[in-house]
Structures are given as structure tokens and as C-alpha cells.
Structure 1
Amino acid sequence: MNILIGLIPALCWGLYPIFLTKMGGNYFQQLFGTSAGIFICASIVQVCFKYQISVNDFMLYFTSGLFWSIGQTGEVWCFKEAGVSKIMPVTTAFQTIGNSLIGGWLFSEWVGISDNLLGLVALIIILLGVFVSDGLVKIERKDIMIYLILLVTTIGFWGYSGFPHYCHTSGLAGFFPQSLGMLVGSSVIYFVGHNKIKGSDPFGIKNIISGIVFGGAASTYLLSLSLNGLVNAFALSQLNVVIATMVATVILKEKPKNQIISTLTGLVILIFGVFLMVSI
């Protein structure tokens, strides 16, 4: 049962980019709708369980949510520009490598030369998986800016994962303030993008469904952390890259059929590298 719960985030996060694509709208509307859906999920959880949290931890989780809005803006924009199947392996690699290096070096989770060497080997394997699955060896000049923007905005995801490390409370207790930060950050970005808050935005409203899917993943991931531990919970959740990439390849037809084998091979290498990285 614990493993099944751990697979729910992978399923929801894997389907989330597909929901974004199907719901439509520009990336401002997708971002705002997603954050609103997450906030609805978090509010329901908070009302049901009435979690208590200190002011300091509230602000840290809130800041984590603000950083998420930065990372999510870049990711959603890149989905629109290059496609889900092309971006998912790359964003997974950026997030895994960044979070692991921050945890290993900043929070001293890697001890000794062996841990650091194993981390670097895992990093190389992850990058190899991206190259094989995404064909980055044939990267075009027009794609360079897309990947640079993705890399820079991924700093937001690193902050999203990093700030909760400083909190004394964990799990679902931080879900509500974190979602509030997501909503505030996304609202500011939405306002800047549209220069006004629309009274009725059908695409923004439709993407609340995408946010509820994301919120389901976020809440069950926090539950999985307590049931399966950090390493297993994170590793299981990263299977989302397989779901998202293959669904986008087969259903959205973002890649020709003759690339499916290389995509699958690259994803297997990538997931192996992720498992190796988080097992240190």
C-alpha cells in the first residue's frame, strides 16, 4: 500500500503537463489556474486536519511557494515553446541535479569522498539519459535560449525544495502556507503578463483542473515522505518523467514513432541516474 501511495505523485505529476496542454491558454493562464487549484486542495486539507505551524515555518513554506511560481513559469513557458516530451527529461535532470547538489553540499548530506564521487557519477548518468532521450546531441541554435531559460528558472524549484529544510514542521502541515505562496507569486506574474486582472478568464479557470491534479500529487507526495522515506518517495515520484514523456510522445504525437525506442532508452538511463543520486 505504501508503494502504491508513493506512485500517485508520479501518476499525477506525469499527467499534469498533458492536462495543461489539453486545457489550453497561454502560460500566464496555465500558471495562475494551476496555483489556484493547488490552493483549493491545500485549503481543503487545512480545514480537515487543522494543522498548527509557527510563524517562522509559515514564512519559510510561503517563500518556498513563491520560488515555485518562478520555476513553474519557466517550465510552463518551455512546454509551450518546445513540447512536453522534449522538456520533461531536461527539467527532471535540472531539478534532480540541483536539489541533490544543494542537499549534498549545502546541507552536508554527502559525507566523504565516496559520496561526492558517486554523486558526480550519477550526475553524468542523468545527463547521458537526457542526451539519449531528447536528442540534445543535435541541439539546434533556436533551442539554446529555451534551455537557458529553463535552467535559470529552475532555481525557483531548487528554492521550493530547499526552504522547507529549515523548517521544524514537515509534511502536510506546510502545504497550506506553501500553496498560498504559490498563489501570490503566480498572481503577481499573471498580473504583470496581462497588465490587468481579468474579471472572467475561461482558460485560467479551466486550468484550475490542472492545479487540482498537481495538488493531488503534492499532497500525496508529502504523505509518501512519511510512509516511504525521502529516498524512496523522491525516487518513486520521479517516474512522472516516464509517464509525461511517453504520453506526450504517443497521444500528443510530439515525436515520430521511430524515436520512441531512443526516448525509452534515455528515460531508463535517466531514472537509473536519479535512483543512484538519491540513494547516496
Structure 2
Amino acid sequence: MNIIIALLPAIGWGVMPWIVNKVPNSKPANQIFGVGMGATIVGIIVTLIQHPAISMPVFFLSLLSGALSTIGQIGQFISFTRIGVSKTMPFSTGLQLVGNTIIGALIFGEWKTSNNFIFGIIALVIIMVGVILTAYTEKGNGFTQKTTNKDILFLVLTTIGYLAYSAFPKTITADAESMFLPQTLGILLGSVIYLAFSGNKAAFKEKASYLDLFAGISFGIAAYAYIISAQVNGVTNAFIYGQLSVIISTIGGMTLLGERKQGKELVATLAGLCLIVVGAIL
């Protein structure tokens, strides 16, 4: 049962990029606001069903956690437009895996034996090789957007928000249900702040924002499953299983979103995805 819970975030987070990229005229501003609204709807439903007791400290810490996650989401959505889904997700996944492994294994002490460290490090190396392969671009492929150092640096910096969000369930003692609604409200608050200060206030009224709400519902379901998984499986395991979403999103980018790859590039991408799965299992 714990494995099933651990895989639910992979599905929800994996299909989210499909949804936002299929919405007509959807820009990063629409996407971040739509995700905030959709996630909050899921949070309200969970709270109405579970009736959790929410203390003020838990509420405000969870609110902050959700708001910080919007930094990571903004980074992903902008990168979708710059380098495509099939490149953004592997890069983002690799960065988050390294960061969350350090947090879970070293700070929270989830790796307790020498074997944990040996096999864990080997697994991370395998995953990172997989990420590098999925990012391979064959010269002369007109269908592939070029990745620059600036694009990579942008993802590195914005990933900090995701790291804060992912590690949060381990920092306090509280039920998943009591943290969830404040976190989703934080995501919505973060999106509103972003639109207000980035000159994208028009997104509040645009149709695309409300169609992107369905991506937010997908994200919300995945996020709720992740909170539970982090508590029953540990931050490291929960996160690595959750990041198998890269398989779903990358393949979706190449098929449903038309980010076609061919020749050595296609082979490298498929080999990279296989290594990510092997590394996650290890």
C-alpha cells in the first residue's frame, strides 16, 4: 500500500505538464495561477472530508511552504516555453533528487548504514547519468530547442523553492491533512504575489488561467499523496518515487506535445529514462 501511495505523485505531477501545454494561449502566468486555484480546491475538499485540527503554527508554516513551492513551479513553467517539457522535467528532476537526498539522508538521517550510503550514492549517479542522456541534443535536429547555461542556472536557482516544499513534511509533527489546505493556500498566495509583482495582472481575467485549473487539480492530488508518502516512506524514498513523473512527462512531451526527437537523440532519451527508473528502484 505504501508503494501505491508513493507512485500517486508521479502520476499527478507527470500529467500536469501535458495539461498546461494543451491549454490554448496558456502562458506561465496563467499556469501558475491555475495550479494555485486547482490545488486549493483539492485542499478544501480534503479538509471538508477529513476535518483536521489545524493549529496556528502549523497553518503559517504550511502556508510558507506552499508559497515557496511556487518559485519552483514558476521555474518549470517558464522553462517549458524556453527548452520544452521533455528537457525541463529531466533537468528539474535531477536537481531535486540531489537536493532532497542531501536533506533526507544527511539532515534527517534516513540513511543509517554504510550500505545505505553506498547504494544510495550509486543510485544517484545512475539517475544523474540518465538525466544527462535525456538532455542530449543531436546537432542539426530542428525539432529540439537548444539548452543554454543560462537556462540551466535558472532551473537550479528556482529549484530551491521545490526543495523547501518537499522537505517540509518532515520538519514538524502534524497530520498530513492538517498541513495540506494551508500549503495549497500558500501556492495560491504565491501565484497571486507573482502575478501582482511581475506585471501579469491580466492573467487573473484570462480564460487560460481557469482552464489551467485542471492542471492544479492534478497537482493537488499528487501533492496530498506526497505529504502522506513522505510521512510513511521517508522524504528520500517518497521523493524519488514521486520523481518517476519525469517518465510520464518526458514521453508526453515527445508524443502529445510534439517535441519530436529522432536518431541518437531519441535513443539517448529512452536510455536515460530507463536509467532513471533503475536508479530510483536501487
Band the TM-score falls in, shorter-chain normalisation: 0.7 to 0.9
Separation in 1 of the partners of 2:46 and 2:6? 18
Separation in 2 of the partners of 1:20 and 1:4? 25
User: How many matched pairs?
Assistant: 276
Q: 1:160 to 1:223 in 2, by over 3 A?
A: closer
- Residue 34 of structure 2 corresponds to which residue in structure 1? 33
Pairing 1:266–2:259 present: no
Say whether the 8 Å CA contact 2:62–2:183 is kept in structure 1.
yes
- Residue 57 of structure 2 corresponds to which residue in structure 1? 56
- Residue 130 of structure 1 corresponds to which residue in structure 2? 131
Say whether the 8 Å CA contact 1:62–1:178 is kept in structure 2.
yes
How much has 1:3 moved relative to structure 2? 4.7
- Residue 43 of structure 2 corresponds to which residue in structure 1? 42
If the length of structure 1 is used for normalisation, what is the TM-score? 0.88
Aligned CA RMSD, in angstroms, stands at: 2.6
Separation in 2 of the partners of 1:22 and 1:74? 19
Separation in 1 of the partners of 2:220 and 2:280? 23
How much has 1:227 moved relative to structure 2? 6.6
Separation in 2 of the partners of 1:79 and 1:247? 13
Separation in 2 of the partners of 1:77 and 1:241? 17
Separation in 2 of the partners of 1:32 and 1:195? 10
Say whether the 8 Å CA contact 1:6–1:233 is kept in structure 2.
yes
Separation in 1 of the partners of 2:203 and 2:104? 40
The residue correspondences of 1:89-104 to structure 2 (distance < 5 A) are 89-104=90-105
After alignment, is 222-231 or 163-172 more displaced?
Answer: 222-231
Q: 1:15 to 1:162 in 2, by over 3 A?
A: same
Say whether the 8 Å CA contact 1:10–1:240 is kept in structure 2.
yes
The residue correspondences of 1:242-253 to structure 2 (distance < 5 A) are 242-253=247-258
Unaligned segments of structure 2, at least 5 residues: none
The residue correspondences of 1:1-280 to structure 2 (distance < 5 A) are 3-23=3-23, 24-111=25-112, 113-135=114-136, 143-194=148-199, 196=201, 200-224=205-229, 233-258=238-263, 259-276=265-282
Unaligned segments of structure 1, at least 5 residues: none
Aligned-residue identity in percent: 36
How much has 1:13 moved relative to structure 2? 1.3
The code of the aligned residue for 1:84 comes to V
How much has 1:72 moved relative to structure 2? 0.8
Query: Secondary structure of 1:194's partner?
Result: coil
After superposition, what is the alpha-carbon deviation per residue over 1:197-237, rounded to whole angstroms, capped at 9, x for unaligned? 66622111111111011112222333455676666644443
After superposition, what is the alpha-carbon deviation per residue over 1:79-100, rounded to whole angstroms, capped at 9, x for unaligned? 1111000111111111111011
Separation in 2 of the partners of 1:237 and 1:114? 23
If the length of structure 2 is used for normalisation, what is the TM-score? 0.87
After superposition, what is the alpha-carbon deviation per residue over 1:154-184, rounded to whole angstroms, capped at 9, x for unaligned? 0001100223322110322211011111111
Structure with the larger helix share: 1
After alignment, is 54-63 or 86-95 more displaced?
Answer: 54-63
Say whether the 8 Å CA contact 1:221–1:237 is kept in structure 2.
yes
Say whether the 8 Å CA contact 1:35–1:182 is kept in structure 2.
yes
Query: Secondary structure of 2:121's partner?
Result: helix
Q: 1:199 to 1:29 in 2, by over 3 A?
A: closer
Q: 1:155 to 1:226 in 2, by over 3 A?
A: closer
After superposition, what is the alpha-carbon deviation per residue over 1:41-85, rounded to whole angstroms, capped at 9, x for unaligned? 101111221111222222221111111011111111111111000
Query: Secondary structure of 1:255's partner?
Result: coil
After alignment, is 216-225 or 10-19 more displaced?
Answer: 216-225
Q: 1:243 to 1:184 in 2, by over 3 A?
A: same
After alignment, is 24-33 or 190-199 more displaced?
Answer: 190-199
Query: Secondary structure of 1:97's partner?
Result: helix
